[in-house]
Amino acid sequence: MKKSSISAVLAALLWCAAPISASAQAQAQAPEPQPIISGWARALPSLSRNGMVVSQERTASQVGLDILKAGGNAVDAAVAVGFALAVTLPRAGNIGGGGFMLVHLAGSAKTVAIDYRETAPASTSRDVFLDENGAYSAQKAQSSGLAVGVPGTVAGLAMAHARYGSGRFSLADLIAPAIALAREGVLVDDDLADSLPHAERRLGRWPATRKIFFRPDGRVLGRGDRLMQPELAETLAAIARLGPSGFYEGATAERLVAAVASAGGRMTLEDVRDYRAVEREPVRGRFRGREILSMPPPSSGGVHIIQILNVLEGFPLAEWGQNSARTIHVMAEAMKHAYADRAEHLGDPDFATVPVRGLTSPAYAARIRERISLESATPAKQIRPGHPHAFESDQTTHFSVVDKDGNAVSNTYTLNFSYGLGLVVEGAGFLLNNELDDFAAAPGAANAYGMLGGAANAPGPGKRPLSSMSPTIVLENGEVALVTGSPGGSRIITIVLQALLDMIEHGMNPAESAISPRVHHQWSPDELRTERGLSPDTIRLLEGKGHAVRVQPTIGSIQTIQRREGWLYGASDTRQRGGGALGY
Ligand code: DON
């Protein structure tokens, strides 16, 4: 725990223990609200009063905090964090990928969703990821230039700044810390040192990538080395000078197109020039009197979090207890229905009609609830997508920001795999995504996360592949109460769901929620995945109900800020090294 949190907790304890002085004095000077730290808590969040940034990498959190302290709002800080993570957390932070941002503006009580998901080049055909026998080709969909979508991050961050920044900082001001970090280099420790060896084979395929991430002796950089990114610094400087056209036009665009072509892709200068971020209405739901706001299609995250919460609202989970067999059982059953619907109905809303209202309606959830037996698991093959008209590792990254005025940003962005395609754009210094594997290459063909899909998520020119990224904001009485999100591929939806249940239903603080064992069911495969930490008794009870329980490596990396009575409580998931929940 950080020093500031320790002193705040001590202050709270001392305040509780202080003798009650004259009541007149107490009335004249109402005490400041004190942080609510339960004596039962086994994990404590960071505390602050004025503003907080929680991200997966501490230097980037510090960049955001500096902007908040200098008078920036949550959006200014988020934009600066977004660019900084592209330098300090290159496996997921990016300018060569895409993502989603939710912005809540306290003044106008308005929440907007910025969709900066990558788009497929105009040359993308329905069967682009199939081999000569018509079967899904992981090589094409995950490891070639065909997998690269036109990056959206620069357009998205620039849109957020232009529309919702405080006006006190130029885009160049917010990019400046990232440029300095790229130019001066960052020490390889924590996340970089842990993640680079795992990606060595993917990265080592490309000379432009080796130049940056490898030592002269041919091995990836290790603990204590310095990651220098001078070409990335120049690209960031071009964006600072020219705005998004410093990325989407001119030399950077030409280098991007050449890099994609060198890896067998077919992206054109027009594809890049025509990229647009899109502002959308968040998807909305209610759970236990709170308003849940999350990402609409082309992410599936918000729709299915709300769908599952609607189903679960009919069960007394708080009474049953967090992670009891009964609670996990009904969660898993609700997850199966949601992921079956995802495979059938979800896709880019600009190309397919997505029944968002039906999927998120409490009446539809009631139908699903009727089909859930408390005694036994329904085999996934008996669950079909409904009629609502009427995996591996954590390579995406999320950050949450709240400022002193109660504005909030919840942002998840990604390159898809760790370090994306692994290909750095020669001369421009940034890594490219392999996001187009999130399309359904063919009916019945599972992608890297085991996800199935249909026509609604088929590859096509200009389309955005379906995502699971779920940046989420919860409002209580119209004010921000929670800001959260996580990486985790197909599991993001259930990770964020469990964080919401932990804090709303089970009364946990963000740190307690972050350390709780997580579970996941995605309909196909028909298995209930769990982390270590569930008791053997609980697992036996779940198996007794018919669940195929698989204990597997960790799930997700949640980055949460909770806001209660003037205090901010932050927690960066402990499943990864190097995160930072920093406030002032
Ligand atoms: O958009 C999606 O759903 C995936 N491309 C996200 C990938 C991801 O979270 C990888 N990290 N675990």
CATH number of the domain to which 529 belongs = 3.60.20.40
From the candidates 396, 412, 484, 530, give the one annotated as an active-site residue: 396
In this structure, is residue 449 part of a structural domain?
no
Query: What gap in Å lies between CA 97 and CA 432, rounded to an integer?
Result: 6
> Cα–Cα distance between 211 and 159 in angstroms, integer?
32
Look at residue 21 in the predicted model and tell me its pLDDT.
45
Residue 26, number of CB atoms within 10 A of its CB:
11
Ligand 1 mutation pick, 492, 496, 554, 573, max ligand atoms within 8 A of CB: 492
Does the residue 508 lie in any domain?
yes
Strands 549-551 and 528-530: parallel
Distance between Cα 277 and ligand 1 center (Å): 19
pLDDT given at position 27: 53
Instruction: Report whether residue 489 contacts ligand 1, using a CB cutoff of 6 Å.
Output: yes
Distance 165 CA to ligand 1 centre (A): 27
Q: Which of 142, 415, 416 to mutate to test the pocket of ligand 1 (most atoms within 8 A of CB)?
A: 416
Domain-embedded: residue 203: no
SS3 state at 581: strand
In a domain, 352, yes or no: yes
**27 CA distance to ligand 1 centroid (A)?**
53
For residue 492, which atom of ligand 1 is closest to its CA?
A: 9
Residue pair 369/317 in contact (Cβ under 8 Å)? The answer is no
Within a domain: 553: yes
Task: Provide the domain count of the chain.
Answer: 1
Expressed as residue numbers, the domain containing 342 is: 283-396+467-583
CA dihedral (527, 493, 496, 174) positive or negative: positive
Compute, in angstroms, the gap from residue 412 CA to the centroid of ligand 1.
9
pLDDT reported for residue 7: 40
Is there a domain that residue 416 lies in? no
- Ligand 1 pocket test target in 119, 418, 431, 469 with most atoms within 8 Å of CB: 469
Ligand 1, atom 6: nearest CA belongs to which residue?
489
What letters, b where the CB count within 10 A reaches 16 and e where it falls short, cover 438-456? bbbbbeebbbbbbbbbbeb
Look at ligand 1, atom 9, and give the residue with the nearest C-alpha.
489
Predicted local confidence at residue 19, as pLDDT? 38
Q: How far is CA 327 from CA 108, 312, 341, 528, 570, in A?
A: 38, 9, 22, 13, 26
**Is the minimum distance from the CB of 435 to ligand 1 under 6 angstroms?**
yes
Exposure class string for 159-189: b at 16+ Cβ within 10 A, else e = bbbeebbbeebebebbbbbbbebbbebbebe
State residue 57's pLDDT score: 97
Q: Is 434 in the pocket of ligand 1 (CB under 6 A)?
A: no
Cβ of 469 closer than 6 Å to ligand 1, yes or no, is yes
Dihedral-angle region of residue 260 (phi above 0 means left; psi in -120 to 50 means alpha; beta otherwise):
alpha
pLDDT tens digit at each of 584 positions of the chain: 343 443 443 343 333 333 344 445 545 577 778 888 888 899 999 999 999 999 999 999 999 999 999 999 999 999 999 999 999 999 999 999 999 999 999 999 999 999 999 999 999 999 999 999 999 999 999 999 999 999 999 999 999 999 999 999 999 999 999 999 999 999 999 899 999 999 999 999 999 999 999 999 999 999 999 999 999 999 999 999 999 999 999 999 999 999 999 999 999 999 999 999 999 999 999 999 999 999 999 999 999 999 999 999 999 999 999 999 999 999 999 999 999 999 999 999 999 999 999 999 999 999 999 999 999 999 999 988 887 765 445 689 999 999 999 999 999 999 999 999 999 999 999 999 999 999 999 988 889 988 889 899 999 999 999 999 999 999 999 999 999 999 999 999 999 999 999 999 999 999 999 999 999 999 999 999 999 999 999 999 999 999 999 999 999 999 999 999 889 999 999 998 899 999 99
Alpha carbon of 152 to ligand 1 centroid (Å): 15
The angle, 0 to 180 degrees and rounded to 10, between the axes of the packed helices 301-312 and 362-370 is 60
| Ligand 1 center from residue 386 Cα (angstroms) | 25
pLDDT value for 394: 63
Ligand 1 and 467: CB distance under 6 A: yes
**CB-based contact 429:232 (threshold 8 Å):** yes
Q: Is 414 in the pocket of ligand 1 (CB under 6 A)?
A: yes
Closest residue (by CA) to atom 4 of ligand 1?
A: 489
In-domain check, residue 170: no
| H or E stretch covering 36 | none
Specify the residue with its C-alpha closest to ligand 1, atom 5. Answer: 416
Does the residue 83 lie in any domain? no
From ligand 1's centre to the CA of 432, what distance in Å?
Answer: 14
CA of 149 to the centre of ligand 1 (A): 14
Query: What predicted TM-score, i.e. pTM, was given to this entire model?
Result: 0.92
Q: Is the beta carbon of 416 within 6 A of some atom in ligand 1?
A: yes
Cβ of 412 closer than 6 Å to ligand 1, yes or no, is: no
Distances (CA, A) of 232 to 153, 441, 469: 14, 32, 26
562 lines ligand 1 (CB under 6 A): no
Beta pairing, strands 397-402 & 52-55: antiparallel
Helix H or strand E segment including 383: none
Q: Residue 441 belongs to what H/E stretch?
A: none
Q: Could you tell me how far CA 511 lies from the centroid of its own chain?
A: 17
Instruction: For residue 511, give both structure tokens.
Output: 């740190």
Quick one: how far is CA 290 from the chain centroid? 21
Q: Answer yes or no: 268 catalytic.
A: no
Question: Which of helix, strand or coil describes residue 105?
Answer: strand
